[in-house]
Chain A
Amino acid sequence: MATQHSRSAARMMMAPAVILLLGWMLVPLTMTLWFSFRKYLPLRGGDMGWVGFDNYVSFFNSSSFWPSIQTTLLIVGGVLIITVVFGVLLALLLDQPMWGQGIVRILVIAPFFVMPTVSALVWKNIFMDPVNGLFAHLWKFFGATPVVWMSQASMESIILIVSWQWLPFATLILLTATQSLDSEQLEASEIDGARPLQRFFYIILPHLGRALTIVILIQTIFLLAIFAEIFVTTGGAFGTKTLSYLVFQRVLESQNIGLGSAGGIYAVILANIVAIFLMRIVGKNLDT
């Protein structure tokens, strides 16, 4: 087993990463905490003193608070469901024998390389514009009234855009996991007369468990912080204000650093609640 020597060496090697991340987390967090207890209005002369929990109370009591949490969870949940369900289906399909598998895989992973800002801009203007967008042309071609995506289906639009960006990620991980599935086991079950659905639920899905956990964990981390897509498309209107967007509005648009910082702390709390949930699942699945 590991010796005392290698243990201290290990600690030394871990130190830079741990110290850096600790600094990266603690310094801004401490400053945010400090600001959150102060009345800090840069446009009114800066730091105007201690206000206790006032900022926390007014951020919590704002009519936008609960809707923003709901929106956040809805976007995270919606994107997760879409990417996981379609990711599994797509992975199973791509695992089948076919011609040009390599090229199809290239096509499928491409959206992952597109900057969030770019994809939001392209979707919003070139596809979802109610007059000149491609969808509008398509709808008109079939004699339907074009949908005004950004207002009538604002949440759906954002979930669609974000899902498009993250589907490749889910598909790829799940595809690799599928490929490692023991084909003998599958064939055996086929001979045993297991129907496709049974095979899927009793053999394939359990095998994908760990990959699914990783998809969910990584995506949640990124989705909780989603910002560019909302900033570019709706600017927080039509019920698309997430918690991090609300913090943005308080900090930058209203220039109320104290209030925004309190919101930031709420966001950290929310993230940690979600994280605890996730870690519960991950903790189980990540053990090897």
Chain B
Amino acid sequence: MARAITNNRKIINTTAAWLIGLLIFFPILWTILTSFKTEAQAIASPPLFVGFDWTLENYQVVLERSNYARFLWNSIFIAGGSTLLGILIAVPAAWSMAFVPSKKTKDILLWMLSTKMLPAVGVLYPIYLLFIKMGLLDSILGLTIVLMLINLPIIVWMLYTYFKEIPVDILEAARMDGASLRSEILYVLTPMALPGIASTMLLNFILAWNEAFWTLNLTAAKAAPLTAFIASYSSPEGLFYAKLSAASTMAIAPILVLGWFSQKQLVRGLTFGAVK
């Protein structure tokens, strides 16, 4: 009897969760479906769900028109580079905040977060002028640095919350055994922090991948990532839903796949140590 009730509840839960999940996912699913339609089918009334002639035409057109590989490559480089660079700088900072806290630690942390609140467009001209002076315009290096700086506060904070979860006793023990600061970090801290670092990197990669203001405004041809690729497919002349869908699918597919494969890591990353 009790078992039947649980089973019933499970069925209700499952149905509800799946319905909501599909509802939330639907816009993405619909975009992917639309990308395989012809332009005429994309606006057909009533809308076509699966009963249409699947075509790769849109992908062909998009690939022919833009150098997708280069946009993709730039996105990978910029997002990856800024993530690595950010981690290199953030790990020591977060380490010292977590293990050698002072009265100012929390203030510094909060101040770092507050730097994220500067509206990007307000500093566009200053940054643009600086980039010209330093010859960083339209360079992967320049964008990597900017995106690293934008996300640095989040990285530091995330790592800090992870590091705080690492029991201090272990470190003390290592110190007693005469471990140097370096080996303390290398052999004791790193293995314990690796999952946290991995998920931090993942989240940072996603944020960098999706950043659409600086990546668009500081690039021309050489360093333009996928956000610029998308800007060439929004509202051109004539019917464009199918081509827009194809371009959108191409822009989000890599990160979507990456995110799905590593979702367990990401879930950890997103918790920010909110849970113990």
Contacts and interface: CB of A to CB of B under 8 A. Distances in A.
Is A–B contact present in the complex under a CB 8 A cutoff? Answer: yes
Contacts of B226: 115
B130 interface: yes
A275 B115 CA distance: 10
A247 B121 contact: yes
B10 interface: yes
A9 interface: yes
B28 A114 contact: yes
Given A35-B125, A109-B266, A122-B31, A14 B119 contact: no
Dominant secondary structure of chain B at its interface with chain A: helix
A25 B115 contact: yes
Contact of B17 (A104, A247, A286): A104
A263 interface: yes
A182 B117 CA distance: 36
Contact of B127 (A10, A28, A127): A28
Interface in B101-122: 102, 106, 108, 110, 112-122
Given A20-B149, A113-B206, A28 B118 contact: yes
A188 B204 CA distance: 40
B231 interface: yes
Dominant secondary structure of chain A at its interface with chain B: helix
A112 B263 CA distance: 12
Contacts of B45: 132, 137, 140
A73 B10 CA distance: 40
B100 interface: yes
Contacts of A251: 121-122, 124-125
B234 A122 contact: no
* 3 closest A-B pairs by CB: A264-B122, A10-B96, A271-B117
B166 interface: no
A98 B16 CA distance: 10
Given A173-B271, A227-B213, A248 B121 contact: yes
Interface of B: 6, 9-10, 13-14, 16-18, 20-22, 24-25, 27-28, 30-31, 34, 42-43, 45-47, 89-90, 92-93, 95-97, 99-100, 102, 106, 108, 110, 112-127, 129-130, 149, 152-154, 156, 164, 181, 206, 209-210, 212-213, 226-227, 230-231, 234-235, 240-241, 244-245, 248, 251-252, 255-256, 259-260, 263, 266-268, 270-272, 274-276
A80 interface: no
Nearest to B19: A104
A18 B106 CA distance: 13
B100 A10 contact: yes
Given A100-B18, A108-B21, A283-B106, 5 more contacts: A2-B100, A28-B126, A93-B13, A121-B230, A176-B270
Given A31-B123, A115-B226, A214-B272, A110 B234 contact: no
B116 A221 contact: yes
Interface string A236-276: 00000001100110011000010011011101100110110
Contact of A118 (B17, B118, B252): B252
A123 interface: yes
A18 B89 CA distance: 10
A14 B213 contact: no
B96 A11 contact: yes
Contacts of B115: 21, 24-25
B273 to A, nearest CB: 9
Contact of A109 (B42, B96, B212, B263): B263
Given A126-B30, A176-B270, A211-B271, A99 B10 contact: yes
A271 B118 contact: yes
Interface stretch (A50-58, A150-158, A161-169, A197-205): A161-169
Contact of A122 (B27, B90, B206): B27
Nearest to A244: B119
A13 interface: yes
A25 B152 CA distance: 12
Contacts of A21: 112, 115, 149, 152-153
A88 B120 CA distance: 31
Given A115-B251, A221-B113, A93 B27 contact: no
Contacts of B241: 125-126, 132
Contacts of A109: 259, 263, 266
A172 interface: yes
Contacts of A93: 13, 16-17, 20
A183 interface: no
Contacts of B156: 17
A186 interface: no
Given A109-B263, A117-B212, A221-B113, A176 B18 contact: no
A85 interface: no
B171 to A, nearest CB: 10
A214 to B, nearest CB: 5
Interface in A1-52: 2, 6-7, 9-11, 13-14, 16-18, 20-21, 24-25, 27-29, 31-32, 35
